[in-house]
Structure 1
């Protein structure tokens, strides 16, 4: 699975127009190079377009080293970029790191996931980025030339089997306090297709384990996805095995969602249709 070292560009000031990024303009002007294969290999070419306003002095922003994952992959980022995250801002302001080397250890994070988080902090999006199809007036995931769309699933040290990458990024965004990144990753999940049932279930379990009970976005996404794909799950047998294993809130929520779905269908079927005149048939 592809991973890369993400290093920051030389320090430069960030204007207010660069800091303010609305959800509707992320894919249009986040500043990501169209030459995706080259920009992925040469991470030092990124801009600070995705950085938000923080309290650090950007003119003298230091570079912080981040040691990520069980393999201790090395990343580097400017303090003022990391400071856009409340999680890292707390570490930096309270000196909760090695003060001599400015090193932060993230042993439980997956390097490929953190690379995307860091890419978002610098650019306002992560690969594959969201692009707007003007002809269809729809949002899509960018294609990588003849290679097509990159793999949606990744290997994660805490999961048996594959995990949907956007789900892992959403949960990382939850941890780091990046609400806009949560919205971006959730939208990208909705554009994925052809995902195996086992990957969906593993990702749903991961989502429940790494989001608070108050989460109403990612969890609801998986409940709706499973209901829509119920015939596939019925044939695959993965749902039966998953329910026998149990141990999560997922299946009670799924039971409630299915009941509500059936009630809605029954209600719609029993409601008499009215003609345009407003009089019953």
Structure 2
């Protein structure tokens, strides 16, 4: 019989040592966790930030058609803000005249909306709050515990979009919010599937914490989502290998620690051979 459902706190400390960079913690500053944006620290040092803001607002309007078919939605924004992204700057280079419109049929509407909100304000909802360093501002539209992965996927999609758009600060901000979501095993599997399906194998920033999370809790989590966990390992063998590698690394460290504490006679250890009766 499966064990009772386990709520996975976003602030729980992992048991496996991870070489996960803490850059997102140092890079996110300010009362609401602002990390820059077009009106961040650099602009604050200028003599008249209001003039800078107006310069952005005087730029032409760009249309972004997000999604496809009946789900397509038209968004508009000022070109000077949109082209802070190298990706959009390149796409709009040939739109000096006429309608400035870009089609984004495969992008998430919510993720693009978060990108635009970040460009205008230096943050996106839900924001980080100073009163709770390990949490985000309350969102009454979502449950306190993410049991489907929807909240994790929101920030994961912003992360992958920021990577595509060449926005490292937004990417860092999204990654910092992922670790502030309280979730269940089912939600974590949905998030892991997205990460391993939409990020390159070289992206240790987001992949390694996923593998380490499951390596430290797999003995409990698999009872809550055993079928999903099994399917994830079959669908993404790299995920299973990454988790197993971390589990074995930790086991080797514990074994080495025990060996250091236990005095051994002689300088070598031989494998015990089974006795054979003749």
TM-score where L is the length of structure 2: 0.68
Partner SS, residue 61 of structure 1 = coil
- 1:239 corresponds, among 211, 219, 229, to 229
Q: Which residue of 1 aligns with 2:267?
A: none
Asked if structure 1 preserves the Cα contact closer than 8 Å seen for 2:62 and 2:101, the reply is yes
Q: Which residue of 2 aligns with 1:167?
A: 156
* Residue 128 (structure 1) aligned with residue 126 (structure 2): yes
**Pairs aligned (count):** 222
- 1:228 corresponds, among 213, 216, 231, to 216
* Residue 210 (structure 1) aligned with residue 210 (structure 2): no
Aligned-pair CA distance for 1:129: 0.4
Partner SS, residue 125 of structure 2 = coil
Q: CA RMSD in A?
A: 3.5
Aligned-pair CA distance for 1:154: 11
- Residues of 2 paired with 1:203 and 1:269: CA distance? 36
Asked if structure 2 preserves the Cα contact closer than 8 Å seen for 1:205 and 1:248, the reply is no
Q: How does 1:12-161 map to 2 (within 5 A)?
A: 23-28=27-32, 30=34, 49=39, 58=56, 60-70=58-68, 71-95=71-95, 100-133=98-131, 138-144=133-139, 147=140
Change in 2 beyond 3 A, CA 1:58/1:122: closer
- Residues of 2 paired with 1:59 and 1:242: CA distance? 46
Deviations 1:167-218 (A, max 9, x none): 111111111111111211111111111x232332222222122222221110
Change in 2 beyond 3 A, CA 1:50/1:73: farther
Partner SS, residue 191 of structure 2 = helix
TM-score where L is the length of structure 1: 0.67
**Consecutive unaligned residues in structure 1, runs of 5 or more:** 1-21, 32-46, 274-281
Q: Which residue of 1 aligns with 2:239?
A: 250
- Residues of 2 paired with 1:215 and 1:69: CA distance? 26
